[in-house]
Amino acid sequence: MKITDNLNPKQLEAVQTLEGPLLILAGAGSGKTRVLTHRIAYLMYEKNVYPNNILAITFTNKAAKEMRERLEKLIKQSVDNLWVSTFHSACVRILRREIEVLGYTSNFVIYDNADQQTLIKMILKDMNLDEKKYTPRSIITQISSYKNELKSPTSAKKTAENYYDEVTCDIYEKYQTRLKENNAVDFDDIIMLVVLLFQKDKEILQKYQERFKYILVDEYQDTNTCQYMLIKLLAEKHHNLCVVGDDDQSIYGWRGADIRNILNFENDYQNTKIIKLEQNYRSTQTILDAANGVISNNSDRKSKSLWTDQSGGDKVYLHTAHDELSEANFISRKIREMSKENSLGFNSFAVLCRTTVQFRAIEDGLIRNQIPYRIIGGTKFYDRKEIKDVLAYLKILVNPADEISLKRVINTPKRGIGDTTWDHLKRHATNKNITVFEALNTPEEAGVSSRATNPIKNFKKIMDEFIILSKKTDITNLTNTILADTGYIEELEAEKTIEAATRVENIKEFLSVTLDYDTKNPGGDLETFTAEISLFTDIDNYDQNEEAISVMTIHAAKGLEFPTVFIAGLEEGIFPHIRSINSGNNTELEEERRLCYVAITRAREKLFLTNAWSRMIFGRSTSNAKSRFLDELPLELIESEARIKTKATFTKNVETQIVTKTCNSSYDVGGKVEHQKWGIGVIVSVKGSGEDAELNVAFPDLGIKKLIAKYAPISII
């Protein structure tokens, strides 16, 4: 079979356009991964390009893994020589080889969010700053923003607008200093430091420019300033840059993604060729028409329209519930009904929410209906305390200067080394210009109590033994030795609680991770293992074959697809989110609309949209109007209970004189309506007219309820 077989004309053109800058605008489900893999194979086997001269960048480990697997199947051989990886994985590889130019050593460790917060708290304490005013989480978010924009502490301070910003920049400066002292980098540093490296050392830049003659970047619409600059530097010699993306799926502006990178690509690179992939291989035409109907309301986009040869399809079903619990019950009942009638596995269904706040009610409904489910984006496995403890031990063996990991485990399990002792050790290390790990050799000089001296020396002795062992054995055996010799498992088992037993089970699961790594990477080093774990994300663990409903945020669902999708909470203030509405910024509302487009295009066959008259959020009941996105859907694509009811003709009832309700019904203040659940009520106010009228109706013993005429189960009396 030829590499170019089974490609549609536009895909073929994208695969065979190899020289110069190329922008592939790939709509949802249009086969972009297929194009990328076939393009790489075509470069290798039709144009004889050496694998090491190709760099393919994705955003998630899951996407990189899928691309490698497809490539191996396509070319029938290993792709180990190919750089097919995420931005972060590729940059870690470069930093391991070149970071000494920036004053670090190659055995640096990567700090996750919890490590960052610990370090920020230490700095706030040193600066006598109030954690309530300068919250570690907000400080980390701001520092991340600076790094994504390639701003150093000095350049960031020049743009400070107030005293708070100036203090944040001071914290940023101390934070970077402490990171370097610990020979550590955070997630944002990984890419930023490579850019700084390339800008500082032209010889290193030229080496990688010469190496990567052909560069492919997936999901280009999600790149931030730092990622944009990295690609620009690498591509400026050969200009053989192919970027694939969809501006209609740019949904990460809140974390620094800049949609202008894809919208202005042809301005950045002269003689750019643009190819649009608009044929969809995932969804029915009905679902695509719904998606096109919504996204066409955005102005900041490149025109395209998805189509498929799967004509028709079920209409999009809209259900309006009384409250969030009724909404969850409808979703659960519908899933059970469809699963039974069509013999579908529960993994055929997904419930997508705008925010995690909606999860509770959805979970309650699934539990009541005895439906198995999994939350994507809950407590991540590698964020669990026991897993972070074990990883901290391993990180110290890679980099003894890692002060954050050392502080985490020096008294875990309990050894009688408390915070006061740590402060003495830290102060002594600073005065002697040595690491805290080195200061453990002479605790007497640090002024610690005699009671803590022996525990410190014993801890240092056992850690030195682990370091020696780490050079001789695999990671599974090393981890087992740490758990046994430190007494970590023994302490958990002694608790004899369900929580402790669960932690032991989680540690056993971690050992299955180390065993899998050892099996796949004979002789693999601890340094690489800990780096890979640091780059792991929750979605990488997604198993599409698990027999359970997937409940997740729409952001987490990007890149996934399901036969049947429920999008919950389509109300103003929920989706679109209240922040985008209150911002007064059309840019944020357009990103919300793109998020709606992403949600709709996750569905292959059936799509359900739900909202509620009232919703309990943060302990307060609120009533919101229907989402504006519902009005943007083509009317002929929608089926709903309200619409079904308005089609029927109600016979005149002598006692109540119920008349037919049509889309042209008139609602007047003082008039009466009958609600299927709440009974007869009096209209106290009307906003709008006809089916779009918003009514405030007073019901006996229930008070005033806000209703939308189009969707409410009411009849005029």
Tell me: do 634 and 681 sit in the same domain: no
Q: What is the mean pLDDT of residues 309-334?
A: 93
* Mean pLDDT over the full length of the chain: 89
pLDDT at 622: 83
The H or E element containing residue 23 is strand 22-26
Q: Which of the following is catalytic: 142, 209, 249, 646?
A: 249
Q: Rounded mean pLDDT of 517-523?
A: 86
- From the centroid of its chain, how far is CA 393? 27
One domain for residues 417 and 531: yes
Task: Decide: 372 and 547 in contact? Cβ < 8 Å.
Answer: yes
Containing H/E element for 543?
none
218 in active site? yes
The answer to whether 141 is annotated as binding is no
Distance separating alpha carbons of residues 54 and 265, to the nearest angstrom: 21
Residue 320 host element (H or E): strand 316-321
Kindly state whether residues 420 and 441 are assigned to the same domain.
Answer: yes
- Check whether residue 600 and residue 493 sit in a common domain: no
| 578: CB partners within 8 A, 6+ apart | none
- CA pair distance 593, 298, nearest whole angstrom: 7
Confidence of residue 505 (pLDDT cuts 50, 70, 90): confident
Higher local confidence (pLDDT), 410 or 623: 410
Residues 320 and 411 in one domain: no
User: Residue 619: how many CB atoms within 10 A of its CB?
Assistant: 5
Q: Is 207 considered catalytic here?
A: no
Q: How many domains does the chain have?
A: 5
Least confident of 170-174, 221-225, 644-648: 644-648
Kindly state whether residue 105 falls inside one of the protein's structural domains: no
pLDDT of residue 493: 87
| 332 is annotated as contributing to ligand binding | no
Q: Which of 441, 437, 372, 402 is nearest to 186 (CA)?
A: 402
472 catalytic? Reply is no
Give 408's pLDDT tier (boundaries 50, 70, 90): very high
Active site residue 32: yes
Q: What is residue 642's predicted lDDT score, i.e. its pLDDT?
A: 58
d(CA 90, CA 97): 11
Write out the two tokens for 123. Answer: 């700095």
Domain membership flag for residue 200: yes
Q: For the residues 191-205, what does the mean pLDDT come to?
A: 97
CA atoms within 13 A on the CB side of 382: 21
Domain finish residue from 185, 206, 225 = 185
Look at residue 495 in the predicted model and tell me its pLDDT: 82
CATH number at residue 432: 1.10.486.10
Give the pLDDT confidence score for residue 638 in this predicted structure: 94
Residue 26 labeled ligand binder: yes
27 has binding-site annotation: yes
Domain boundary among 516, 540, 564: 540
> Is there a binding annotation on residue 29?
yes
* 546-560 per-position pLDDT tens digit: 789 999 999 999 989
Torsion (CA) 243, 245, 251, 252 in degrees, nearest 10: -20
Q: How many CB atoms lie within 10 A of CB 613?
A: 20
Residue in 33, 310, 481, 528 annotated catalytic: 33
In the predicted model, is pLDDT for residue 661 greater than 70?
no
pLDDT for 459: 95
Of the residues 218, 389, 518, 591, only one is catalytic, namely 218
Q: Are 403 and 410 in contact (CB under 8 A)?
A: no
Most confident of 85-99, 658-672, 676-690: 85-99
Which residue is associated with the tokens 């890679």? 398
Same domain, residue pair 364 and 438: no
Range of the domain at 125: 112-185
Same domain for 321 and 212: no
Range scoring the smallest mean pLDDT among 20-34, 319-333, 383-397, 534-548: 534-548
82 part of a folded domain: yes
Q: Which of 219, 248, 386, 474 is catalytic?
A: 219
- pLDDT, position 512: 85
User: Is-catalytic flag, 249?
Assistant: yes
Q: In degrees rounded to 5, what are phi and psi of residue 407?
A: -65, -35
Domain stop point among 255, 279, 303:
279
Question: pLDDT digit string (tens) for 537-546?
Answer: 656 656 677 7
Mean pLDDT is lowest, of 67-71, 268-272, 659-663, for: 659-663
Specify the range with the lowest mean pLDDT, choosing from 147-156, 291-300, 389-398, 683-692. Answer: 683-692
Separation between Cα atoms, residue 24 and residue 8, nearest integer Å: 14
- Domain harbouring 352, CATH code: 3.40.50.300
- Asked whether residue 481 is marked as a ligand-binding residue, the answer is no
Three-state DSSP state, 276: strand
Share of the chain above pLDDT 70, in %: 94
Q: Which residues are within 8 A (CB) of 75 and not within 5 positions of it... i.e. 6 or more apart?
A: 41, 44, 45
Residue 300 has pLDDT above 70, yes or no: yes
CA distances from 625 to 94, 574, 591, 597 (A): 51, 10, 20, 20
Q: Point out which residues pair with 242 in neighbouring strands.
A: 22, 216
Would you say residue 652 has pLDDT above 60?
no
Neighbours of 226 (CB within 10 A): 23
pLDDT of 604 > 50? The answer is yes
**CATH number, position 142:** 1.10.10.160
Q: What is the pLDDT of residues 344-381, one digit of tens each?
A: 999 999 999 999 889 888 988 998 899 999 888 655 67
Q: What is the value of pTM for the model shown?
A: 0.77
What sign does the dihedral 648-651-656-657 (CA atoms) show?
positive
State the residue for tokens 């023994």. 490
pLDDT at position 708 is 81
Contact, 612 vs 325, CB < 8 A? no
Residues 449 and 328 in one domain: no
From 395, 602, 626, 705, the catalytic residue = 602
Q: How far is CA 426 from CA 403, 437, 447, in A?
A: 9, 9, 11
Catalytic pick among 10, 11, 32, 606: 32
The strand pairing partners of 190, in sequence order, are none
Q: Is the pLDDT of residue 66 over 80?
A: yes
Name the band, by pLDDT with cuts 50, 70 and 90, for residue 602. very high
Position 301 in a domain: no
Is 709 assigned to a binding site?
no
The total of other beta-carbon atoms located within 10 Å of residue 696's CB is: 17
Q: What is the model's pLDDT at position 377?
A: 67
Confidence label for 655 from pLDDT (cuts 50, 70 and 90): very low
Instruction: Give Dmax over CA atoms of the chain in angstroms.
Output: 98
**Is beta strand 679-687 parallel, antiparallel or unpaired with respect to 694-699?**
antiparallel
Is 284 among the residues known to form the active site?
no
Q: Let me know whether 272 and 410 are in one domain.
A: no
365 and 423 share one domain: no
Identify the band that residue 523 occupies on the pLDDT scale cut at 50, 70 and 90: confident
Cis peptide before 576 (omega within 30 of 0): yes
Q: Does residue 330 sit within a domain?
A: yes
Amino acid at 143: I
In a domain, 600, yes or no: yes
422 inside domain: yes
Q: Is residue 666 part of a domain?
A: no
Quick check: 318 pLDDT over 90?
A: yes
517 and 531, same domain (yes or no): yes
Question: Are 173 and 195 members of one domain?
Answer: no
Residue 533 has pLDDT above 90, yes or no: no
